[in-house]
Chain A
Amino acid sequence: MFDLFREISLTIKNNKLRTVLTGIAVAWGIFMLIVLLGAARGVVNNFEAESSNSSVNSIRLWSGTTSMPYKGYRDGRWIRLKDNDMEAIANEVDKVSDVAISTSVYGFNIVGPKDYISSGLEAVYPDECRTQRITDIKGRFINQKDIADHRRTIVIHRDNAALLFGDSDKALGQELQAMNLSWKVVGVYDHRWRKGTFIPYTTYKAITGGDGYVDQMTVRVENISTDVEAEQTESQVRSVLARRHEFDPEDSNAVWVWNQFANYLKQGQAMIYLNIAVWVIGILTLLTGVVGVSNIMFVSVRERVHEIGIRRAIGAKPKDIIIQILSESVAITTIFGYIGLVVGMGMLQLLSPILEDQAGFVNPTVDISLALQVTAALIIAGAIAGLFPAVKATKVKPVEALRDE
């Protein structure tokens, strides 16, 4: 084996330019493959993170305006969701695990010991935490006990907490004034762009008496795996609301629906295609490198016909020649491919914070198992690249090879 390595290193040293040019082609191929895979991984990770945050198995509904006349009613009628729709949907639609509602309340200030804000409140159910994709929270969100006992609990954003209390860390457990009542801060959350202040819906209803109209409703479903099932559920929800609010179930404008599960499935499919596309592009890029290596090995074999003739005259068997050329090819692809791999992974590490900040990628890196797979693919690619020239080299008769100058 040592002899073989020495033979390879001697030949490579003797053909520096050729080796470096081949190596650059391979390194570039691998570099591109790693960067593409990393970027695709970043997109997929971002999608998955968003999906897990927003709890994708849900259908969100908003009030709308009818676009069709129905049972004597003219079109253009405002259909407003009501809190008692929640119970009807929960009872009548298959596969519903939970229904939550939320509504915005404006027209008063939220007053703290240091300052006040007038951004209004959102009266919600516990599930709103998932809907709003709130993950970074100190304390807790509105819970079922708050809903059941009509507690005056409040959850605020960290920036608002800092404003109202002077220091966001001091807010938890403190009291705030809103709607002429005291509210206990039970949670301080952080989110990049959501800044809402949340209270239990039932407390709000109990305090105001309320008209029962709500801004939006979230219907959570379970045991659904296809977009057809998701659309069936959506259709059932629409039918229940159509019956209750007297509009045409076919009227898609009467209630606005965002079927997140159907979108998720479609996006999931798109992610699979993206992954496939990235692999195809990557492998084609790598193949370009392999074809390059194969070409250069062909040239190398052509240049070395005479040398191969000498080797065969003094006793090299065809397999010795094949092993030598294959080994050279594998060595070149492995060494330079590894360089491409390391540079590609380094580049991803370097760009990762920028991509995460600017382009919405999440962890755009390649894990070690994938790197190992790529390395294995490299060695196989190197062997394939060298195989054809190697076999060709052994087809030349020694006597003809010796004549070749």
Chain B
Amino acid sequence: MDYALKKDKVIELRDVNKTYPGIVPLHVLKDITLDIRKGELVSIMGASGSGKSTLLNILGILDNYDSGTYHLDGVLIKDLSENRAAELRNRMIGFVFQSFNLINYKNALENVALPLFYQGIGRKKRNALAMEQLERMGLADRAHHLPSELSGGQKQRVAIARALVTKPSLILADEPTGALDSKTSKEVMQVFRDLNNDTGMTIVIVTHDPTVGAATDRVIRIVDGRIENNV
């Protein structure tokens, strides 16, 4: 594989395996080989226990894998120290979670600015960049509200703004509409769609909701730890 092609891929997994140890070891991911290119809006679908969350954790450098290789934007992700993993998560990945995962005693602006705090960026610049993302999400007027003062859709948009604030290579969303009603789910999916169209941001969404899957460019189905189709 030539270098240019390799550079074009944001995610490149080759024969990745993951087993959870125990009295009966659980082989969760089996020889996963997967490429996701820059600018793709992809969904990973599968039933509960199929291994999709484990795959997302590995893609998000939140968990390790046992064998195979994983390149993220050309960087080999294997046996990283906690510090290096934290640095790569901060600079290369933006997370969006089902339960939003906002810090409840920080307002929207502070939540969005938090990843920049860990980059050592000063408060003024941090807040300016965070405000930029909140404006993009249409939440400038909610910047100083606590999460408890925001609706579900607004919280998820704050979480997306936080994911975007470091200008990562990849957005990883874990059931981003799981806690939302259908109308709000559509709005959130539209946010992802617009982001993808406008900025060419690579977005990977893990979901079990077919309507979410249908709203993406490509659906990767995972069944019993193996990729069933990689269309």
Which residues of A are in contact with B by a Cβ distance under 8 Å?
2-3, 7, 10-11, 13-14, 306-307, 309-320, 394, 397-399, 402, 405
Measured CB to CB, the nearest residue on chain B to A2 is B123
Residues of B within 8 A of A314 (CB): 89-90, 95, 114-115, 118, 162
B83 beta carbon closer than 8 Å to chain A: yes
State in angstroms the CA–CA spacing of A307 and B118 once bound together.
15
Partner of B63, one of A315, A394, A399: A399
Residues of A within 8 A of B87 (CB): 315, 317
State in angstroms the CA–CA spacing of A398 and B104 once bound together.
18
A304 shortest CB reach to chain B, Å: 10
B97 beta carbon closer than 8 Å to chain A: yes
Measured CB to CB, the nearest residue on chain A to B120 is A3
B103/A307 in contact, CB under 8 A: yes
A313/B62 in contact, CB under 8 A: yes
Please judge, given known A-B contacts A313-B95, A314-B90, A314-B118, whether A402 and B83 are in contact too, CB under 8 Å.
Answer: no
Chain B CB within 10 Å, residue with most, of A3, A10, A312, A317: A317
Residues of B within 8 A of A315 (CB): 86-87, 89-91, 115, 118-119, 166
State in angstroms the CA–CA spacing of A46 and B91 once bound together.
67
- 5 further interface pairs, Cβ-Cβ under 8 Å (given A309-B101, A318-B82): A3-B123, A313-B95, A314-B162, A315-B166, A317-B87
Partner of B101, one of A3, A11, A313, A317: A313
B86-107 residues at the A interface, CB under 8 angstroms: 86-87, 89-91, 95, 97, 99, 101-106
Partner of B86, one of A10, A14, A317, A402: A317
User: Please, how many residues of chain B have a CB less than 8 angstroms from a CB on the other chain?
Assistant: 28
A2 shortest CB reach to chain B, Å: 7
B102 shortest CB reach to chain A, Å: 8
Q: Which 8 A-B pairs have the closest CB atoms?
A: A315-B90, A14-B105, A315-B118, A399-B62, A317-B86, A314-B115, A399-B63, A310-B101
A311/B82 in contact, CB under 8 A: no
B98 shortest CB reach to chain A, Å: 11
State in angstroms the CA–CA spacing of A11 and B89 once bound together.
24
B118/A317 in contact, CB under 8 A: yes
State in angstroms the CA–CA spacing of A90 and B123 once bound together.
83
Measured CB to CB, the nearest residue on chain B to A6 is B123
State in angstroms the CA–CA spacing of A396 and B101 once bound together.
17
State in angstroms the CA–CA spacing of A316 and B89 once bound together.
9
B118/A316 in contact, CB under 8 A: yes
Chain A CB within 10 Å, residue with most, of B60, B103, B115: B103
State in angstroms the CA–CA spacing of A270 and B165 once bound together.
67
Measured CB to CB, the nearest residue on chain B to A395 is B82
Residues of B within 8 A of A7 (CB): 117
Please judge, given known A-B contacts A14-B105, A313-B60, A402-B62, whether A320 and B82 are in contact too, CB under 8 Å.
Answer: no
Measured CB to CB, the nearest residue on chain A to B105 is A14
B156 shortest CB reach to chain A, Å: 15
A318/B83 in contact, CB under 8 A: yes
